[in-house]
Structure 1
Amino acid sequence: MLSVATVNHHTASLDVREKISVAENELDDLLVRVQRHLGPTAIISTCNRLEFYTTGTENLEQLTTYLQQETHMNEIEVQDYFRIYQGESAVRHLYRVSSGLESLVIGEAEILGQVRTAFAHAADSGVDDSMLVRLFHGAIRAGRRVRSETSIGHRSVSVSSIAVQKIRDHHNDLQKANVLIIGAGEAARLIAESLVEQDVSQIYVANRTQSRAESLAKELDGIAVQYSNLMEVVNDVDVVITATGAPGTLINFEEMNKTIQFRQNTPLLIMDIGLPRDVEPRVSDLPNVTYFDMEALQEIAAENGKARAQEIGAAEHLIEEELKEFSVWLENLQTQPTIASLSARSEKIRKDAVEKSLRRLHLDEAQQDEIDALTRAIVKRILHDPIVALREYGNQDTHYVEVVHKLFGLNDEFPSLTDLSVSDQPEDDRL
């Protein structure tokens, strides 16, 4: 049974999400642990969601028990903060996620890449479960269609863009502002690029890895600063933006309290979009310090969602189309291995017989090709009715599958769907 357990910005506060957040360098180890308990699993981990997609458990109790163990939550907390979907509901949820409909900022583009990354991590860990593979292929295709066939992706917004909007709303003159960006990942880069468009006075970049800070600063025509001198730079800027996702607090209350003593009442705006948060939220109690985290962006995000109501309807229609495609594939999942096995066995018998006859007949190449084509056509016509019947009845009654196996002497073990040739898969699924 396909299941997904999700904790996200709809179900849990930022305080809860940051406690169970997974750093990028921890994801591979988490996958190993999860698959040891739940079987084939893929994990989506972003600043606003942590989701486990698995086909390895039929028992919801087993899944919730493992979530308690992994997240160090009790049973009531897991029930309060996690939502669990199974079957078609799980498929629909991932399709909505990949299309940006479940994002904090409706229609944001980054999530599709994050879904791809989750699938790649799962594949690298050895997951080749046919249902998970088909699920993520379908989700990526649904996300692509929503972005290309609806207007939801035409006015692209993101967490980074609304963060800059929030900063602009609370700073009188960004063109005169000196800005420090802490972090050099994708979120930091997107914010930095938006700030360049606002023509800020100066951008400073700090990162634990100095070379990455220097690289981003060079792209922005900014200045890379030493990470060890972080608070000295904070003392000289008007805006601080943090987006590291690193464990632990980078700027705590005590450090900031000391720093503001030297700022002579100059206002400081801090935008913290890290998960876990990079800055201790208590700094907002200090004079002349304005602090925003991800939850402060909810109001702007909600307004964006209302403005896109019509686009959301069009996207949901496409998702339902893609969901039907998955349902058809799922219905054929039971019979497809038998059809593949029947076709493979028939082709082997045909090929062996033709080769044996051709060795005796001494025909020229054109005659050999004619016989080969003729025998292929005969086998195809013979198999047509059994295959049609299998597809029509075999998914409702396994007796039909068993009868075909006995009548045609097929192997007891079905071939894996992942062993089928690429040509047997829908063209859009060949990623």
Structure 2
Amino acid sequence: MPLLCCGVSHHTAPLAVRERLSVGPREASAVLGSPWLRGAATIAGLTEIAVLSTCNRTELYASVGAHDRDLADATALFMKLLSRASDLSEETLAPHVYMSSGLAAVEHLCRVAAGLESMVVGETEILGQVGVALGQSVEASWSGPVLEAVFHTALRAGRRARAETGISRRPVSIASEAVALLRAKLVSRERPRVLVLGTGSMGRAVARVVANSDFATVHVAGRTASRACELAKEVAAELVSWDALADRLSAMDAVVVTTSAPEPVITVAMMSRAQATRQFARPQLVIDVSMPRNVEPEVASIPGVALYDLDHIQAVIGSHLEGRRLEIPMVDGIIEEELAHFDRWRRGSALRPVLAALQAKGEAIRRRQVDEHLRAIGSADPDLRGHFDAISRAVVSKLLHEPSRRLRTVTDAARARESAELVRELFDLELPDDPSEPERCSA
């Protein structure tokens, strides 16, 4: 059963488009559970769907039918879904959307899980996000043997990449790059004041790196007071009340925004007011690493403010990743091995039920013939039955061995399905209700 992948990422779409498609775990679950998707998927013939969304990519995966029409219907459905989610027309989205199918889609997900497609090559968070995407698909009853096999293959490739190569060993991250930008821009200032907004994984990482670098005074603010207080104590930072945020902005040399709010938490009005009351002539640095952006883009036009976002961070990350890039050929080799494993499973999945049915029919005929001959000669001698069983099993085994072996060597998936159907018709085999559904590929 073919696989389809459709999505956008930092490789193909600007931040303004990516943030329109960014969905958190709750939103992804809502998409998978929506009546619209279930109805549209039924019409398009989709039975397995997963949504993978990170700060820099949103991707849809589906198991589709074997015909070109099925692939076209699934592609059209995914474009409609992306359009609905982003409130952008399909024509606007089309230049930024990439698609792949079959083994190419499996390879893409393996590269994603291994961190090769991330903004920071080799970052580790993506592996957990791939696992979450599979878990959400299972919870929403959209998972099945194909998607589970694909995602388990990708997860295995990702784990092996990090265990067997150095793709993740050299410390490079969005948090570390944001702090590097801070240091570069604030180098001439003595003990600059840096305010970190947000207490999630990114906020904690930024606060820790700034505190450990010991070049600035750290201030922390978060929408959840208890978590902000906990982080402030951990990094010996000054706690800023979220309610007092607007009043405290003017005193800061830099603000790093890591929140994940659906709407901007730093607005033009807030920053304009801060600039009006600032007592410093030096520019105020604002770094927004949120997705979607949590600083209104128009803040960049305010005199005295220098605004940087994820696209700016991406531009400087490349020069710091040369060490990790040296590991990419080894990761590619791991992915090739996992793809070969998956392909063997895929090819065998079409033939496995047919071969099992063929063996079962041969065994049933053998048993029936032995029973008839023993009744005909009026013998219940167990030794004689054992003799007949041994001879008949050997005959059936030798008859079925060569055709079974040849079927297992079929390398093309389409030919495997054709061969399976031919064998089924020739031997009048009875298969399960859905013989095309493959067995599960173990993780």
TM-score, normalised to structure 2, is 0.80
Q: Take 2:193 and 2:216, find their aligned partners in 1: how far apart are those partners?
A: 6
Q: State the Cα deviation string for residues 18-68 of structure 1 (Å, max 9, x = none).
A: 122223331211122345433321111111111111114521334334433
1:325 to 324, 334, 341: 341
2:430 pairs with 1:410:
yes
The alpha-carbon deviation at position 124 of structure 1 amounts to 1.4
Equivalent in the alignment of 1:2: 3
Contact 2:145 2:439 in 1 (8 A): no
The alpha-carbon deviation at position 122 of structure 1 amounts to 1.3
Q: Which moved more, 1:29-38 or 1:48-57?
A: 29-38
Determine helix, strand or coil for the equivalent of 1:58. Answer: helix
| Residue type at the aligned position of 1:137 | H
Equivalent in the alignment of 2:25: 24
Determine helix, strand or coil for the equivalent of 2:91. Answer: helix
| Residue type at the aligned position of 1:331 | R
Contact 2:6 2:60 in 1 (8 A): yes
Determine helix, strand or coil for the equivalent of 1:335. Answer: helix
The alpha-carbon deviation at position 404 of structure 1 amounts to 5.1
Q: Which moved more, 1:204-213 or 1:127-136?
A: 204-213
Contact 2:351 2:420 in 1 (8 A): no
2:168 pairs with 1:168:
no
Q: How does 1:154-165 map to 2 (within 5 A)?
A: 154-165=169-180
The alpha-carbon deviation at position 128 of structure 1 amounts to 2.7
Contact 1:43 1:118 in 2 (8 A): yes
Q: Take 2:252 and 2:366, find their aligned partners in 1: how far apart are those partners?
A: 78
Equivalent in the alignment of 2:234: 219
Contact 1:341 1:415 in 2 (8 A): no
2:290 pairs with 1:282:
no
Equivalent in the alignment of 2:153: 138
**Structure 1's 249 and 342: CA in aligned 2 closer, same or farther, altered over 3 A?**
same
Q: Take 2:274 and 2:85, find their aligned partners in 1: how far apart are those partners?
A: 38
Contact 2:407 2:419 in 1 (8 A): no
Q: Take 2:238 and 2:362, find their aligned partners in 1: how far apart are those partners?
A: 69
Q: State the Cα deviation string for residues 205-247 of structure 1 (Å, max 9, x = none).
A: 3222222223333333334433211122323332211112211
**Structure 1's 218 and 35: CA in aligned 2 closer, same or farther, altered over 3 A?**
farther
1:50 to 49, 55, 58: 58
1:129 to 144, 148, 155: 144
The alpha-carbon deviation at position 343 of structure 1 amounts to 6.9
Q: Runs of 5+ in structure 2 lacking a partner? A: 65-69, 368-379, 383-389
Q: Take 2:228 and 2:397, find their aligned partners in 1: how far apart are those partners?
A: 62
TM-score, normalised to structure 1, is 0.82
| Residue type at the aligned position of 1:49 | R
Percent identity for Structure 1 against Structure 2: 33
**Structure 1's 326 and 257: CA in aligned 2 closer, same or farther, altered over 3 A?**
same
| Residue type at the aligned position of 2:12 | T
Aligned residues: 413
Contact 1:342 1:408 in 2 (8 A): no
Q: State the Cα deviation string for residues 83-103 of structure 1 (Å, max 9, x = none).
A: 111112211211111111111
Q: State the Cα deviation string for residues 237-261 of structure 1 (Å, max 9, x = none).
A: 3221111221111111111111222
2:408 pairs with 1:391:
yes
Q: Which moved more, 1:246-255 or 1:229-238?
A: 229-238
The alpha-carbon deviation at position 137 of structure 1 amounts to 0.6
Contact 1:109 1:158 in 2 (8 A): no
Q: Which moved more, 1:202-211 or 1:79-88?
A: 202-211
Contact 1:174 1:200 in 2 (8 A): no
| Residue type at the aligned position of 1:208 | R
Q: Take 2:438 and 2:101, find their aligned partners in 1: how far apart are those partners?
A: 23
Q: How does 1:22-421 map to 2 (within 5 A)?
A: 22-33=23-34, 34-38=37-41, 39=46, 40-56=48-64, 57-59=70-72, 60-172=75-187, 176-265=191-280, 267-306=283-322, 308-339=324-355, 387-392=404-409, 396=415, 398-401=418-421, 403=423, 407=427, 410-414=430-434
| Residue type at the aligned position of 1:61 | A
**Structure 1's 150 and 403: CA in aligned 2 closer, same or farther, altered over 3 A?**
same
**Structure 1's 211 and 406: CA in aligned 2 closer, same or farther, altered over 3 A?**
farther
Determine helix, strand or coil for the equivalent of 2:277. Answer: coil
Q: Take 2:364 and 2:248, find their aligned partners in 1: how far apart are those partners?
A: 73
Q: What RMSD, in angstroms, separates the aligned Cα atoms of the two structures? A: 3.7
**Structure 1's 300 and 416: CA in aligned 2 closer, same or farther, altered over 3 A?**
same
The alpha-carbon deviation at position 2 of structure 1 amounts to 1.0
Q: Take 1:31 and 1:175, find their aligned partners in 2: how far apart are those partners?
A: 51
| Residue type at the aligned position of 2:263 | G
| Residue type at the aligned position of 1:37 | A
**Structure 1's 17 and 381: CA in aligned 2 closer, same or farther, altered over 3 A?**
same
Determine helix, strand or coil for the equivalent of 1:278. Answer: coil
Equivalent in the alignment of 2:372: none
The alpha-carbon deviation at position 174 of structure 1 amounts to 8.1
The alpha-carbon deviation at position 175 of structure 1 amounts to 7.8
Q: Take 2:13 and 2:198, find their aligned partners in 1: how far apart are those partners?
A: 25
Contact 2:358 2:427 in 1 (8 A): no
| Residue type at the aligned position of 1:161 | S
Q: Which moved more, 1:333-342 or 1:92-101?
A: 333-342
Q: Which moved more, 1:379-388 or 1:98-107?
A: 379-388
Q: Take 1:347 and 1:229, find their aligned partners in 2: how far apart are those partners?
A: 79
